Chains A and B, each alone.
Chain A
């Protein structure tokens, strides 16, 4: 089944009188259970594409359909609700809330659900268990290493059990060994938990963990290597 379908996607940013064409017609299909790496030089439009697929922004032209749902048809509010249930986001700099413990950071997306407080805590604990950080539940992000913080961020991304994970340079801030651990974790989520993963990365070694690698340049997909 096709999870993500982009057809003729363009994105132009307008700054004053200047307009910058960042995506120049992207056609892309991602099947359920894929693990896709997106590579390409800085400024080629990778993050912009990821934002469109994750429902954070709208294309200037073309259509983005995710899980059978055309994103253009949803209001901002509907999109927010849709994201909370269907997409997990993982960033380069983890983006955890510094005032909350690991456990509470993971629990955060569940505040948007109808789950009881007990159930929320149980689910957050389970997600921390999956990423191997159950013993750090009470720690604040400031008390954790970069790799540990990224694990917490991954737990937060999966706690509401979305089918799709979008990761923007998830290992960009980590050393080689830690990066490998994070990538193995993503592989596990892909292989054992059936998550469809799109991962932007600069690192060819990181891309090796993916089943499929796509390259972008100047707003276009240029090459399709297996």
Chain B
């Protein structure tokens, strides 16, 4: 028996109580690691790529799922200071399995790649994309991930969109791939031909999800955005226009709100755990007063007994944290791939695991401090008399 073994044995004086405490500590740390990983991946990898400072997004004012009429494109193009306009839409849909979650946008091929010139595509691939009704292009990394080759047929089951014949089985011909900027971490977008999509879908013809606008003078971004929105203020489809940078900023703001909420949840959870574990340790200590006196009698110093009691609290918290972190890592492996679309790489980072262990040490110290101090001060003679 080692000292560690002795501490472990002491923890299990009341196995049910210890297991319950251990499980609650474990769940608290599972939550901690998962929430930390969520906010980590939100702020690190997820969301939008590098925003173009000379691009504006024109979205429906009230809900991103409202459609905008494609006829608005001409009006927007006419606004002073606008150089070019393209559009995009949400296709949704599932490739083989729900876990294969990547965005799919119907676009006009040539204007799209002119607008997003940071994405590089072989001119021959672009031409094939423009000229193939059922054509599609994918980011190189996505094609590699799913093992697609140019010429493959990519079946997508429509969830938002059905075809005019009622079928939801869309099929696209992969006619090319394109390269995303090097620093981009999101999985990228599967692009399909808007012309084919618009003609084949069973409703919503002539509408788009959003417009992207390139402006000549970034200093005038706010003014141009206002001018665009003014065009549609009293129409059936009012818009909301902002720079991609502003959109990214708002997105980060939301992440900030989410992080604040998560911090609140975690604080509440850990406060509860603190009370629960603290109570367990205090109760265990009261039951053991005579035993601790015996330890001192047979030669354990005050410091050694205090260290023993503190060590037990640390051990309990550390084991709970290890189990919780292990569980979170396992959960991330299982659910991570499905979440990557929404928030980039979903993987428990070393620093998150390390902060879980650090937090468990802190928890152990706080929970163990008072019992340990009590144990240190315990007088042998008094404790044995009260037996």
Contacts and interface: CB of A to CB of B under 8 A. Distances in A.
A binds B: yes
Interface of A: 47, 51, 54, 56-57, 76-77, 80-81, 83-85, 89, 91, 93, 95, 97-100, 104, 107-109, 111-112, 117, 120, 156, 160
B315 to A, nearest CB: 14
B387 A97 contact: no
A contact face: mostly helix, strand, loop, or mixed: helix
Given A93-B387, A95-B294, A97-B294, A80 B9 contact: no
A97 B2 CA distance: 15
B298 interface: yes
A85 B1 contact: no
B163 to A, nearest CB: 70
Nearest to A93: B387
B303 interface: yes
Contact of A81 (B297, B299, B381): B299
B299 A85 contact: yes
Given A56-B381, A80-B296, A99 B290 contact: no
B299 A109 contact: yes
A112 B300 contact: yes
Nearest to B303: A77
Contacts of A100: 1, 6, 9
Given A76-B301, A98-B13, A108-B298, 10 more contacts: A54-B297, A77-B301, A80-B300, A81-B301, A95-B294, A97-B294, A99-B12, A104-B6, A104-B9, A160-B299
Interface centre among B1, B291, B294, B301 (most CB of A within 10 A): B1
A76 B304 CA distance: 12
B302 interface: yes
Contacts of B380: 51, 56-57
Interface string B292-312: 001111111111100000000
B237 interface: no
A99 B10 contact: yes
B98 interface: no
Interface centre among B294, B297, B299, B384 (most CB of A within 10 A): B299
22 contacts: A56-B297, A57-B380, A76-B301, A77-B303, A81-B299, A81-B301, A83-B299, A84-B299, A89-B297, A93-B387, A95-B290, A99-B9, A99-B10, A99-B12, A99-B13, A100-B9, A108-B298, A109-B298, A111-B2, A111-B6, A112-B300, A117-B1
Contacts of A91: 294, 384
A56 B291 CA distance: 15
Interface string B5-43: 010011011000000000000000000000000000000
B381 A51 contact: yes
A95 B303 CA distance: 21
B3 interface: yes
B2 A117 contact: yes
A99 B302 CA distance: 21
A80 B290 CA distance: 17
Contacts of A98: 13
Contacts, number: 71
Interface in B287-341: 290-291, 294-304
A120 B6 CA distance: 14
A99 B9 CA distance: 6
Contacts of B298: 83-84, 89, 108-109, 156
A112 B299 contact: yes
Interface residues of B, number: 26
Interface centre among A77, A81, A97, A98 (most CB of B within 10 A): A97
Interface of B: 1-3, 6, 9-10, 12-13, 290-291, 294-304, 380-381, 384-385, 387
Contacts of A77: 301-303
A57 B381 contact: yes
Contacts of A112: 299-300, 304
A128 to B, nearest CB: 14
Contacts of A54: 297
A25 B265 CA distance: 65
Contacts of B296: 80
Nearest to A83: B299
| 3 closest A-B pairs by CB | A84-B299, A80-B301, A95-B294
B16 to A, nearest CB: 14
B18 to A, nearest CB: 11
A183 B301 CA distance: 31
A77 B380 CA distance: 13
Nearest to B296: A80
Contacts of B303: 77
A76 to B, nearest CB: 6
B249 to A, nearest CB: 58
A95 B291 contact: yes
B304 to A, nearest CB: 8
A108 B290 CA distance: 16
Contacts of A80: 296, 299-302, 304
Given A56-B380, A77-B303, A83-B299, A97 B291 contact: yes
Contacts of A107: 1
Nearest to A104: B1
A57 to B, nearest CB: 5
A135 to B, nearest CB: 19
Nearest to B385: A47
Contacts of A120: 1
A111 B6 CA distance: 10
Contacts of A160: 299
B302 A76 contact: yes
